[in-house]
Copies of this chain bind each other. A is one copy, B any other.
Amino acid sequence: MEKKDGKRRDKALSRDQVISAAIAILNESGESGLTFRTLAQRLVTGPGAIYNHVRNKEDLLAAAADVMIQSALSVNRDELAPDAAIRAVALDVFDIIDAHPWVGTELSRAPWQPAMLLIFDRIGANLQALGVPDRAQFHAASTVTNFILGAAAQQAAAIRLHADGAQRATLLSAAARAAIHQDKRSSPFLQRMAGNLTEHDDREQFSAGIDMILRGIRG
């Protein structure tokens, strides 16, 4: 990968450049690929220089995730009906995490993260038109957001497992298979769902979850 622009030769290093370089590394190599040393190398500087532009690694990851979510939610959904708009926002988040799992991991690492608040806002913006009473809108938006965060973290973790596991593909991890096959009497529901667990489509499962919650928040 070449540097994106020529600004570096005159020694001007900016916060945006640092974050962009971090995103590039994260998208190429995942979370484990991003260290202050690899990042400094890409920016042709020393690791200490990065601290002039971000407070620490947590700050860097939060800023990177915010850029990704902003980009994923930049499509205008104003012409959609409120329930379709909420579904669209949720699926936009799902798709960016499916493509870049590190975003999903990061979303639930810090609370009150800009990226998380942006999702919360975009969901909430459609509740009035959906007919949700004013006093219920805060809980409704937080319910949808928490569902998205939980599903995002699971999806990110599942993809991470895929990535370095290679051949197991759609199979559950060994630990889960063990859990399913032990205790046949004490977990009848899990036994009954074993087929769905191994064969379901993650995106369809996510979409169905949003639909159920929408039915519920509508009252």
Contacts and interface: CB of A to CB of B under 8 A. Distances in A.
A179 B111 CA distance: 13
A82 B217 CA distance: 20
Nearest to A182: B114
A112 B173 contact: yes
Interface of A: 62, 108-114, 116-118, 120-121, 124-125, 127, 137-143, 145-154, 157-158, 161, 172-173, 175-176, 179-180, 187-190, 193, 196-197, 200, 205, 208-209, 212-217, 219
A143 B213 contact: yes
A126 to B, nearest CB: 9
Contact of A138 (B120, B152, B196): B196
Contact of A189 (B108, B116, B125): B125
7 contacts: A120-B189, A121-B190, A127-B189, A143-B213, A146-B151, A150-B150, A212-B216
Contacts of A124: 189-190, 193
A112 B193 contact: no
Contacts of A111: 154, 157-158, 161, 173
Given A149-B154, A157-B109, A200 B117 contact: no
Contacts of A112: 158, 172-173, 175-176, 179, 197
Contacts of A125: 188-189
A150 B190 contact: no
Given A121-B189, A146-B209, A213-B143, A138 B200 contact: yes
A213 B173 CA distance: 29
A209 to B, nearest CB: 4
Given A146-B150, A175-B112, A205 B139 contact: yes
